[in-house]
Every structure is written in C-alpha cells, then in structure tokens.
Chain A
Amino acid sequence: MSRRTFKVWRGDPNGGAFVDYQVEVQEGMVVLDAIHQIQREQAPDLACRWNCKAAKCGSCSAEVNGKPRLMCKTRLDALPTAETITVSPMKTFPVIRDLVTDVSWNYTVNKKIPPFTPGADATFLMRQRDVDRVQEFRKCIECFLCQDVCHVLREHDLKPQFFGPRFLVRVASLEMHPMDTLDRLKLLKDEGGVGLCNITKCCTEVCPEEIHITDNAIIPLKERVVDKYYDPLRIVLRVLMGTGQDGGAAGK
C-alpha cells in the first residue's frame, strides 16, 4: 500500500479552496473510493454525488486533474504517480457545495424537448439495423460531462441559447426513431442553437459511454436543419408551393 495526496476542492457559492488529504491507496482503487475514504476517516461532511459506482448512473461527475471524468471509473493507477491528484466540481455548473454542482438547468432543457410521438398506426416492427443508431444515443447516462466540457456552455456560458451536446443527442434519439412522427428541427435551429456547435468534438472525447456525439448526432442534425431551412432550392420551392416554414416532417 502507498499513500497519495489528494487536493479536493471544498467550498460553496461564496468561495472555497483546495484542501489536502492523504489517502492510503489500495490496488485497483478509483477516485471515488478515495473520496469515500476521506469522508469516512477525515471529512464526514465532504459533499459528493454518487450512486451505482459502476459507470451506469452518471452521478459522480467531477474534474480530476482538470479533466471531466466519472470518479467511479477513474483508476488512480492511470493517473501520473508523481503528482498530487486534484478533484474539483464541474466548472460549467454553479457550485452547491464541494464536489456537488447545480445541474438543474439540464432538467429544464429536457422538458423543452417534445417527447416521443408515434403514429396512431405504428406497428413497432423495427429491424435491428434501423434502431442501432437510436440505441447508441440511448446509452447516455446523463453524467453531463459533455455539457461540462462544451465550450459553448463552459467558456461562453450560452445556456439560454444552446441545449448542449447531451440534449442534441436526446433530440437525435427522437428524430431518428423509426416510429416517431414529430419534427423538432425548428426547435433545434432556434431554441436548441444547434448552429452554435462548431464541431470541436470535445464532448465525444469525454463521453464515458463512447457515444459518437458529434459525428452521429450533432452533424446529422445540423445537416437536416440546413437542408430544411437554408437550402436555396427548397426556399424557392417553398415560395412557389406556398408551404409554410414548418410544413412536413423533412428528413424523416
């Protein structure tokens, strides 16, 4: 067994600082184990979220050595041994206390997305290859690490104008569901702000579920929006045919 030094951010909305803790390290230990050990032995009031401890619930998101990670999945032996390990709350969301942040904004966004709406005559006979891509998006565990790392939200704080990668994935899972009948492209273009993403793929890099957020969700959605709203041929046709802006479920 060896000892390692952790610098854990302690504080609340009024401010805070990194506090040093020494932790006895066992084989195979993850950052969340260390946080629990600190809670048990040194700081019983250290606040953190966790649930499944198996990378399936997405509760224990934080920044380890500055990188957005699930604490339950980050092995200590994968971090440089010479250095102390810093653990801080997700930067994009307001701090509540210590490692716990206020992620309620995400729930507000989710509510804006119209739910799955199958046709009255939907048979639900779907081939596996037609649902593979939707299933990829539905793997999302809502850890919000993609939201944390996205510079539109993190650096520019454009929360009121942009849904963020998580909810673009959510929209994609509905838009690409073979039985869904709604058209969410106007929502994506306006409130969703899909145009604000400039495809740096930071979200894809941090996704613990390895969802190809940018390539498989955001880019196809961008293309659908462009096709519908910015294709010159379509604009002409729309004028000639007299169809409204939002007529038809384009791209279905």
Chain B
Amino acid sequence: MNDKYETHEHDVIIIGAGGAGLRAAIECSASGLKTAMICKSLLGKAHTVMAEGGIAASLANVDSQDNWQTHFQDTVFGGKYLNNWRMAELHAREAPERVRELERWGAVFDRTPEGKILQRAFGGHTYKRLAHVGDRTGLELIRTLQDKGIHQGIDVFMECTITRLLKDGDRVCGAFGYWRETGRFVVFKAKAIVLATGGLGRCYKITSNSWEGTGDGHALGFDAGAELLDMEFVQFHPTGMVWPPGVQGLLVTEAVRGEGGMLRNNKGERFMEKYDPKRMELSTRDVVARAIYTEVKDGRGSPHGGCFLDISHRGAEYVKKKLPSMYHQFKELADVDITREPMEVGPTCHYAMGGLKVAADNGATGVPGLYAAGECTGGMNGANRLGGNSLSDLLVFGRRAGMGAVEYARAAPAPKTDDVEIEIAAAEMTGFFGRSNPEDPYKLHLDLQNAMQGLVGIFREEKDLTAAIAKLEEFKQRAKNVGVVDGQRMFNPGWHLCRDLRNMLICAEAITRAALLRQESRGAHSRIDFPKYDDYWGEHNIVIKKGGQTMKVERCSVVKTAELQPLVDDKKAKEKK
C-alpha cells in the first residue's frame, strides 16, 4: 500500500449498489470472476428502496391475456416510439423470468387467491402487470439481491465515492475514489467496469431523489468518452408531496392510483377527463404531470399548490394493507389520514430516461471495457418511462451488463493504471481545500437546482433554455472556485458536494442542450413554442458526446428491429382509434 492511496484489484468492478448494480455483481461473481461492488452509501440504502409500486412483468397471473408482446407495445407507446426497440423487447421478454428468479432467491410478493404472485394495475400498462409487495417493492428487491449477493463472495466497498474512471489507451482499467469515512484515496484496478449509479434528480429543486442522485455514472461515463442519449427526457412523477415544505417532492407512489385513487382539483372535478378520458388517472406519467401542473397554473390547485389525490373510498383496512407506507408517510409527516381525507400532491423530478448509450444485448458503452445498466443508461424508456418498468429494467439489464462485463474481462489483459492520471484525480479532490474565499458548494447547488427547476422543468421554451445555458456557463465558472473552509477530510459532506456538483453540471448542461435542440413536444419533453409532435423528431434521438471542452450535440436514428415493426404498427393503429 502506498501512503497516498490504497489499491485493490478485481476482474470486474461495479459502481453503484442499487438493483442494477447488485444484479450485475451477482452475475459477475456467479461466473467465478473476482468482483467488487462500490457504493456511496451503506449497502441496502440505494434509491431502489424508494421504488414502491411494483415490478412490471407479463406473468399473466391476474390477467391471463397478458404477454411480452403487449408489454413491449405498452413500453414503446409510453416512450413515444423513441425507445431502442431491441431493449424494449429484451425487457418485455425477460422480465417474467427475472421476477420468478427473485422469488427463488427469497422475495415474498403479495399473493393471488391461488397462491401465485399478485399483480396490480399501473399507468400505461394494458393489463394488471405489476408484481408487488404492498408499497415497498423496491425494498424487497434490494434486500433479496443484497442477501443473495453477500453470500456469493462479492467484495463490497461501502461509503466509497468514485470520482474518475482510469484509462489505459481507449479502454478503462480502473477507478479512483475516496472513502467517505476517512477521506483517504483509493484506486480500484479492473479489467471491466459496470456503471449502475442511478439518476440525476438532485439537479432539480423539487425531487424524489436522495443525495446520491447526482448523475455520477452519466458524468463518469461521459468524461471517459461514452455517449449520452435522450438527455432531454426527465420524468416528473405526477405525485410528490407538496406539504410540509421539508418533504416537498417526496414520492407518493403511483400504486395509489393503481389501487383506484382519484385526482381532483379545487372545484372537485376529476380533471383527467379533460386530458386523457380513456386512461384517466392511469394515463402515462408525462400526461398526468402536465395535467396537474396546468390545473395549478390555471388557479384550480389545492391550498399548497398541488391537487387532491383521494383513496379514502377504498376503506381504511384496504388502504392500510395495500399502501401501508403511504398511510404512515402522510400520517406522520403531514398530519393527513389518507383513509379519511385526500392527499395534496404535485409533480416532482423523479427519473432520468436519458443516460449512457449502450448496446441492448450486453450494456456495452462505446468505451472498451465500460458497461452500464439501469437509470444511468438511456434507450430502454424512450421519451417517457412507464411506472413499474424501472425495477424490471434493473434486473434484466443489470444481468445483461454483468454478462457483457464477464465476457470482456475474460479476454482482457491485466489492468495497467497510469500514475499521472491518478495524481490528477487526487489533485482535483485536494484542490477543494485551501482556496482563499471559496465558492460555497451548498449555495451553488441551490442556485443550480433553482435554475433547472425554473427554466428546464415540465414546460420549456427557447428563451428559458437559452437563459439556462447562460446560467450554466456562469455556474461552471463558479464551480472552479468551489471549496471548503473547514479543512478536514473525515466524513465531510461539504467537501463531497464540491465534487458532486461537477457531475450535476455535466448532466444539467446535457439536459438543457438536448432540450433546446428538440423542437417538438414528446413524452416528458414539452416545448411551449413547439407544442406538437414532429415526424422528423419521432424518428430521431439526440446523442451528446465530448468534443474537447464542449459538448457535441448530434442526432441519430431510432434503433428499430424489422421483426418488431408489425407490433409497433399494430399499437399505433390501436391508439389512433
């Protein structure tokens, strides 16, 4: 061990320990490779625990007509046909087996009267499709994978933040980071790396994301030369808490609507009749979020700037059984008894559809040795993700990225890191200390969140997006002088935030630049100045890559598969009726 940093060597390292990271790690270690999983928090605390409603898979336990083809059609319709078709296909085909596998590993789902896995309705899904455990499905998923993984010999490095991927020529050969506890540096050498770092919601003021959602994988991959896809599509979940102020943005699961919850404005009207009379409250998330936003803007909102969501008609016993954590969340944090009175809810930044561009079958990015899975990737969800498709995405593509990394690592030579690159990475982190009159990271973060919320939110237009670009340029300058006064490295959140800001700024800029280029409204991206679908853009994704010091924003054609064309045509025809 060197006095500046410690070194570990593995065949594969997985960065992130949510559903995708854990599933990838299980795949790698099951193949006999020496596998490490690195996470910023304690194991089992990743944001996957906040996935509440369920995991979408066409098991057909409740609605026997369901099949993978319908799930595929629902997914690409929800994604407004911008999805990578092959990813949507693999996802729909493999999700049922991943759910059954989870059950064999110890997950205990709610049951049908016949004793099978129970499935519930959710927005945009034609059939009752979401396997669930009350409203804590994500916790069940993560705990099951965690308990499976720890007995399989995965080396887990907890509370360790990666700040840079290390390269040997074109390919990745390791990662540099710091221990949160001690502030000491650490180098992981590896033949292959899987990024599974989740989302970027902390770029926005009102978000359901925890402190971890700073777009680390997006930025680490981008910095290493990988491409970002569909970054303009940021999902605002229609129902976040709006009161009290401290919990603004906290998720209210879509399962409330799946179980029959109704949305009303301050006139008592079920306003979804105006926006999607066919699907009503179970329309896709982009539609419901815009509807609530519009009702509030036009003066029909609830006292704290949201709308009302009511489940009380289902009866106290049912609500407490099927939505226990929602019951407690509102009772304890907002003094609202949801079995008797409506909740107040409004949109909250929840999920990034956009992310690293990967190969559908094995999660490979364009950088040799670098793989990715889960929310930090793009393509699977297109312009809008259906609820329930995230947990299944994590399992299907976590496993596939693991397989990809295994195949690569088996053929790859021993990793060779470059001391100069490590020195640069270390200097970046120590550079946040000792600056005279440094920029306050908390202040800069708040300014970034306010700018993104105000200028690049649910509804966008050119003048706002242009203003946002200018602000981001200013923030990037300020970020150069960000630093901490209290000069110690042990568990110092101010110091950690200094580095996280850089990732958030990359994501925010990618979102804004892509949003400016896409001159149409589609899925989660709504342009006031271009309110309609545009046929050209319906066939194109936006890709962002590194071009020296700037971002290169380009367009590419949607990835289609000839065999799936009839399914897509069939769905389009049905939806036109």
Contact = CB atoms under 8 A, between A and B. Distances in A.
Interface in B485-499: 485-486, 488, 490-495
B310 to A, nearest CB: 21
A2 B332 CA distance: 21
A65 B309 CA distance: 36
Interface string B421-446: 00000000000000000001110001
A82 interface: no
A154 interface: no
Given A44-B441, A45-B493, A115 B147 contact: yes
B328 to A, nearest CB: 7
A40 B447 CA distance: 13
B158 to A, nearest CB: 8
Contacts of B446: 40
Contacts of B335: 28
A12 B44 CA distance: 25
A40 B41 CA distance: 20
Interface in A26-72: 26-30, 32-33, 39-41, 43-59
B224 to A, nearest CB: 26
Interface residues of A, number: 59
A47 B492 contact: yes
A213 to B, nearest CB: 17
A39 B441 CA distance: 11
A212 to B, nearest CB: 14
B246 A30 contact: yes
B114 A59 contact: no
B50 A12 contact: no
A29 B147 contact: no
Interface in A104-144: 104, 107, 110-111, 114-116, 118, 122, 124-128, 131, 134-135, 138-142
Interface string B134-146: 1010011001000
B169 interface: no
A125 B118 CA distance: 11
A184 interface: no
B45 interface: yes
A12 B148 CA distance: 34
A105 to B, nearest CB: 12
Interface string A210-225: 0000000000000000
Given A40-B442, A52-B49, A139-B136, A47 B116 contact: no
B316 interface: no
B247 A53 contact: yes
Closest 7 A/B residue pairs (Cβ): A28-B244, A44-B494, A116-B106, A125-B115, A47-B491, A33-B246, A51-B210
23 contacts: A12-B490, A28-B335, A29-B244, A30-B246, A30-B333, A41-B442, A45-B484, A50-B211, A51-B41, A51-B212, A54-B250, A56-B139, A96-B181, A100-B181, A115-B106, A116-B105, A126-B108, A126-B115, A128-B110, A135-B108, A135-B133, A141-B139, A142-B44
Given A47-B492, A56-B50, A107-B150, 6 more contacts: A40-B446, A52-B49, A54-B250, A56-B49, A107-B43, A135-B134
